[in-house]
Structure 1
Amino acid sequence: MKINIIKKDLKIILSDKKALAIMILMPIILTTILSMALKGSFASGDSDFEPINIAVVKLYDEKVDNQMFESSLKNSLVADSMGEDAIQKLIDSGEDINPENLFFDDFLESKDVSELIKYTLVSDEKKALNKLNNEEVSAIVLLPDKFIYNMKVNLLTPFRNKVDIKILTHPDKSLSGKIVSSVIDAYSNAMSTIIIGKNVVIETSMTNNISDDGFDNLDQLMEGISDVIKSIDVNLDNVVMEGRKQVNSADYYAVGMMTMFILFAAGIGGRMLLEEKDNQTYQRMVIAGTTKLEILSGNFMTVFLIALLQITVMITFTHFALKVQWGNIGSVILISIVSAFAVAGLGSFVGALTYKAGNYKMANMFESAIIQVMALLGGSFFPIDVMPEFMQNLSFLSLNGIAIRSYLKIITGYAVADILNHILMLIAMGMIFMLAAVFVLKGKEGTGNVKRNKVKIA
C-alpha cells in the first residue's frame, strides 16, 4: 500500500510541469547565472575585504623576562670569552630592542597587516576562548611564556631559543584562521631571516677575535629591524588551507541553490494530504484500510525521493557544465540522503499543519515566506560570514544552512568525521519534524475545504 501511495504521488508531481520547472530548471538557471555574475566576489584579492578580528594573549611577564635576560648574559658560559665590554653592549642593546613593539607596533599595526587583521589584547586565555566560542573573534594568538626573554636571546646573542607562537581558530572560520596563520608565519619567517643575519655577524666577529667591533656594528644592524618588520608582505592569493580546495562562485551557488530548492519539495509535500482529501483520494484509502500514519509515511517517502532527484540532477549538471568538484562521492551521497531526510520530515510537518487547518494558507506561507527566510539565514544567497551578526546567530534555525556547510566542507577536502555534527543535526531535524507531524495528525481534523468534500459512510 505504501509503495502504491508513493507511485501515485510521484506520478502526480512529475506530471506537473510547473512544479518540475520550479524544482529542477530554476536552480540550474540561477546557479549558472549567479556563478558567472558573482565570480569576482569570490576572488581572494577582493578590495572590500574586512579585517579579521583576533585576540592576542600575553602569557609572559615583561619585567621578569628583561631581568632574566640581563642575568643570563652576566652569568653565561661565554661571558668571559666575549668580554665585559661586549656583554655590556648587549645589555644596552637589549634596552633598545623591544620585542613587544616589534610585534604589535611595527608588525600588527603596519599598513599592510592592519588591513587584514584587527587585534584586541585580552588579559588571559580563558577570556579569549570565550570570545572565540562566541565568534567575537576568528582566532586567538598566544604569545608564549618567556616571549621577551627568548626573543632578546635570539636577536642579541649567538644563541637561539625556540619561540612557539600558538594560534587557535574557530572551526567555522577556517579561511579566516588560515589568513591569520599565514600572517603570523610571515612574521616568523621575517624574524628568522633577521636572526640568521645577526648570527652571521656575531659568529664572524668572534671567530676573527674582533668581537668588540662586531658588537659595535650590532647596534646598526638592529636599527633596521623595524623597517624589515613593517615591510612584511602577506599575499592573500595563496591563502588556502593545506590540502584544501578553495571555494569559487560555481561551487558556492551550486550548493546554495540546490539546498534552497529542495525546500520546495517540502512545500509540495505540505499540500499532499489536503489535496488528497479534497480529491476524495484520502477517504478512499481510509476505506481500503490505510491508516493516517501509512499515508503520512508514503508522503514522507515521496518528498524524500523528489529531493534526492533534485540533488542528483544538480550535482550532475554542475559537475559537467560548471566543473564543480564535489569531493568524496561517498560523503556527498551521505549528506544528500540526510538532507533529503530532513526536508521530507519538514514537508510532512507542513503537510500535517495544512491538513489540520483545512486550507492551504500554511503551505502558501511556507512557500512564499518561510523558504525565503530559511534560504537567507542559511546562506543560499550569499555567505553567512558577510551577514550582520544577529543574522549569523539565527543561521542555526535554517535546515538548508546546515546542509550548505556540510557540502562546502566536503568540497574543500574535509572528511565525514569533520561534519558528523551537521549530519546528526539533519537526522535529528528530520525525526523531530516527522514526530511533530504525527502528533499534529492525532488532533481534530480541520474544516474549510475538507468539510465540503466530506463523504458520509452508512
Structure 2
Amino acid sequence: MLWALIKKDLQHLLKEKSVLILLFIMPIGLICILGFAQSNNELEPFSIAVVNAETQTEELNRFLDKAENNGIPREAANQFATEFNLKNILIEDVLESGLDTQILLETSVPLDEALANKEYAAIIEFPDGYQESIWKSIFLNEGDQKEVILHLNEEKSIYSQMVEGIIHSFYEMIRMQSLAGETEGMAILQPGEVDHKIIESQTRPIDIFDYVAVGMACMFVLYTAGLVSRYATDEKRTKVFDRMILSSAPAYIYGISKWITGTITAAFQLFIIFLISYIAFDVAWGSLLQFSIITLAISMTVGGLSVLLTSFNFRFDSYKASTLFTNIIVTMFAFIGGSFIQTDMLPPLISKLGEFTPNGTTMTAYFQAFQGGTFSSILPSVGILTTYSVILVAIAIMLFPKRRGQ
C-alpha cells in the first residue's frame, strides 16, 4: 500500500512538464543569469534570432491611444511604457549585456528565414501586440498578457536549453519579486549584487557560482513541497483516502507516503542541480559524505512540509495552502534566507531570522561542507533541519483526518 501511494505521486510529478521546468530548468537558468552577470566567465559564442511580429512604435501608439481614452495623460502612459519594457529588458539587459557573454543576437530576421537557419540555437518570437498586452494588463488592468514564443534548435541542445532556462527564469524572477513588493521602477529586474568571495575561512573561498548554485537549489527545493501536496485535494475528491481507510489501512500510511515522496523528489532535485552546476560551472561539493547528509536533512524537511501542506489541503478541501506556500512563503524565505542576497545586507533582526529558515540553514551547512569544514561544523544545521522535519510531521499528524470523509 505504501509503495503504491509513493509510486502514484512520483508518476503524477513526472507527467507534468511544468513540474520539470520549475524544479530543474528554472534554477539552472537563474544560476546562469546571476552567475554570469556577476563573474568574468564567458560562454562559447552562439546565435539567437529575435523576431518581432510588429514594430514597437505601433504597439506604443495603440497603448497611448487606449490610455488617453481612459482619461490618462499620454505623458504618464508613455513614461510607464518607457520604464517598463520587458522586451527591451530581456534582450538588452539580460541576453546582450547582463550575462557578459558572446551571445550573437539577430534582431531583424523574418520568422521564416530564422526557422530555416540551423545556426540559431533559439528563436525568440514576440507575437502581435505582445508588449502592448503587458502594458494594458499592468497599467490599465485590461486583458491578458500574451506570452513570448520560443523556438529551440535540437541540434544545439546545450545552448537552446540554456536559453529556455534563462527565459523561464527571467519571467519567474519578475513574478517572484513583484509578489515580494519590489516593483519600484527598474529595480525589480536587477539581481542583487553578491560579493565574489562570500566566505574565506576553511580551505577555500566561496565564489559567485558556488553562492548562486546553493542559493537557487535551496530555494527551488522548497517548491517540491507545494507540488507534492497539491494532489491531496484531488485525491480527497476522488475518494483515494476513503478507499484506503475502507481497506483497513491505517490513516498515517497516507501521510508517510507524502513524506517519503517529498523526501525522494527533493533529494533527486538537489542532486541533479548540483551535478549540472559541477559540470557546467565547476561548483565543487567538498566532502561527499557531508554533502549527502545535508541533502538528506533538507530533503526530510521538504518531506515534512509536504505532509503539513497535505493536511491543510485536506482540512480546507482546496489548494490554498499549497498555493500560498509556493507563491508567498517560498519567496519570503528566499529573500530573508539569503538565496538572492547575503543576509548580512539585511537588517540584523531579519538577518538572524533568515539563518533559521529552511533554505538559510541549509545554505550555511552547504557552505561549511564546500569549504572543507569538519563534520561537527555542519551538525547544528543538520540538527535544526531534522528537528523541523519531526515537528512538521507531528503537526501534520494532529491535523490529519482520522476518519474518512473528514
Change (3 A) 1:435 1:19: same
Task: Name the structure 1 match of 2:226.
Answer: 267
Q: Distance in 2 between matches of 1:398 and 1:238?
A: 23
User: Aligned AA for 2:38?
Assistant: L
| Shift in alpha-carbon separation, 1:416–1:336, aligned structure 2, 3 A | same
Alignment check: 8 A CA contact 2:233 2:317 kept? yes
Of residues 401, 413, 433 in structure 1, which corresponds to 2:360?
A: 401
Alignment of 1:272-287 (within 5 A): 272-287=231-246
Q: Are residues 334 and 366 of structure 1, via their aligned partners in 2, closer, same or farther at CA, if it must alter by over 3 Å?
A: same
Counterparts of 2:24 and 2:382, CA distance in 1:
24
**Could you tell me which residue of structure 2 aligns to residue 392 of structure 1?**
351
Structure 2 length-normalised TM: 0.59
Whole-angstrom CA distance in 1 between matches of 2:364 and 2:201: 19
CA offset at residue 353 of structure 1? 1.1
CA distance in 1, matches of 2:330, 2:201: 36
Q: What is the CA–CA distance in structure 2 between the aligned matches of 1:379 and 1:424, rounded to whole Å?
A: 20
> Which of the pair has more CA radius of gyration?
1
Partner of 2:300: 341
C-alpha contact (below 8 Å) 1:34/1:253 kept by paired residues: yes
Match of 1:8 in 2: 8
Q: Secondary structure at the match of 2:230?
A: helix
Aligned positions of 1:107-118 closer than 5 A = none
1:364 aligns with 2:323: yes
Distance verdict in 2 for CA 1:259–1:240, change over 3 Å = closer
CA displacement at 1:421 relative to structure 2:
0.7
- In the TM superposition, residue 241 of structure 1 has moved relative to its aligned partner by 4.5
Aligned-residue offset at 1:412: 1.6
Separation in 1, partners of 2:14, 2:299: 17
Task: Specify whether residues 19 and 241 from structure 1 end up closer, same or farther in structure 2 by C-alpha distance, changes over 3 A only.
Answer: closer
1:86-101, aligned counterparts within 5 Å? none
Q: Kindly tell me: are residues 240 and 401 of structure 1, through their superposed partners in 2, closer, same or farther at Cα, counting changes over 3 Å?
A: closer
Counterpart in the other structure of 2:373: 414
1:257 aligns with 2:216: yes
Question: What runs of 5+ residues in structure 1 fail to find an aligned partner?
Answer: 41-235, 448-458
Which amino acid is 1:30 matched to?
A: L
CA distance 1:33–1:285, change in 2 (3 Å)? same
Which of 297, 301, 314 is equivalent to 1:355?
A: 314
Q: Counterpart in 2 of 1:59?
A: none
Q: d(CA) in 2 for partners of 1:32 and 1:299?
A: 32
| CA distance in structure 2 between the aligned counterparts of 1:237 and 1:314, rounded to whole angstroms | 21
| Pairwise CA distance, 1:345 | 0.5
In structure 2, distance between residues paired with 1:358 and 1:371: 22
Aligned pairs for 1:58-457 (under 5 A) are 241=200, 243-442=202-401
Aligned counterpart, 2:136? none
Preserved CA contact (<8 Å) 1:402 1:422: yes
Matched, 1:28 2:28: yes
Residues 140-176 of structure 1: CA deviation (Å, up to 9, x unaligned) = xxxxxxxxxxxxxxxxxxxxxxxxxxxxxxxxxxxxx
Normalising by structure 1, we get a TM-score of 0.52
Tell me if structure 2 keeps the 8 A contact 1:308–1:336.
yes
Give the Å deviation of 1:386.
Answer: 1.4
From the superposition, tell whether residues 247 and 25 of structure 1 become closer, same or farther in structure 2 (CA, over 3 Å).
same
2:383 maps to a residue whose letter is L
> Could you list the runs of 4 or more consecutive aligned residues of structure 1 that deviate by over 4 angstroms after TM superposition?
236-243, 442-447
Alpha-carbon distance in structure 2 between the residues aligned to 1:268 and 1:243: 37
Inter-partner Cα distance in structure 2 for 1:324 and 1:412 = 11
Contact 2:23 2:220 in 1 (8 A): yes
Give the 3-state SS of the residue equivalent to 2:397 in structure 1: helix
Aligned residue in 2 for 1:39? 39
Closer, same or farther: CA 252–14 of 1 in aligned 2, 3 Å: same
CA deviation digits over 1:19-53, x for unaligned, max 9? 1110111111111211111237xxxxxxxxxxxxx
Letter in 2 for 1:13: L
SS in 2 for 1:394: helix
Q: Structure 2 CA distance, aligned partners of 1:325 and 1:277?
A: 44
The question of whether the paired residues in 2 share the 8 Å contact of 1:356 and 1:445 is answered with no
Matching residue's letter, 1:31:
I
Q: Report the CA distance shift for 1:284/1:408 in structure 2 as closer, same or farther (over 3 A).
A: same
| Contact 2:201-2:371 at 8 Å conserved across structures | no
Q: How far apart in 2 are the matches of 1:292 and 1:17?
A: 31
Distance 1:244 1:296, change over 3 A: same
Q: Over residues 358-383 of structure 1, what are the superposed CA-to-partner deviations in whole Å (9 max), with x where a residue is unaligned?
A: 11112111111011011111111111
CA distance 1:244–1:290, shift in 2 (3 Å): same
CA shift, 1:237, in A, is 11
Provide Cα deviations, 1:193-229, integer angstroms capped at 9, x if missing partner.
Answer: xxxxxxxxxxxxxxxxxxxxxxxxxxxxxxxxxxxxx
Distance 1:372 1:240, change over 3 A: closer
Q: Is the 8 A contact 1:356 1:446 kept in 2?
A: no
Aligned residues between the structures: 252
Instruction: Return the alpha-carbon distance in structure 2 between the equivalents of residues 243 and 402 of structure 1.
Output: 18
- Asked whether the equivalents of residues 9 and 302 of structure 1 are also in contact (C-alpha less than 8 Å), the reply is yes
Change (3 A) 1:385 1:444: farther
Contact 1:349 1:436 in 2 (8 A): yes
Amino acid at match of 1:10: L
Measure the CA separation in 2 of the matches of 1:237 and 1:251: 10
Show CA shifts across 1:69-128 (max 9, x none).
Answer: xxxxxxxxxxxxxxxxxxxxxxxxxxxxxxxxxxxxxxxxxxxxxxxxxxxxxxxxxxxx
Tell me, yes or no, if the aligned pair for 2:229 and 2:258 is still in contact at 8 Å: no
CA contact (8 A) 2:199 2:206 kept: no
Conserved? CA contact 1:355–1:446, under 8 Å: no
Q: Secondary structure at the match of 1:291?
A: coil
Gaps of 5+ in 2: 41-194
- How far the C-alpha of 1:269 sits from its partner, in A, is 2.5
CA distance in 2, matches of 1:396, 1:237: 20
Q: Quick check: 1:39–1:248 contact (8 Å CA) kept in 2?
A: no
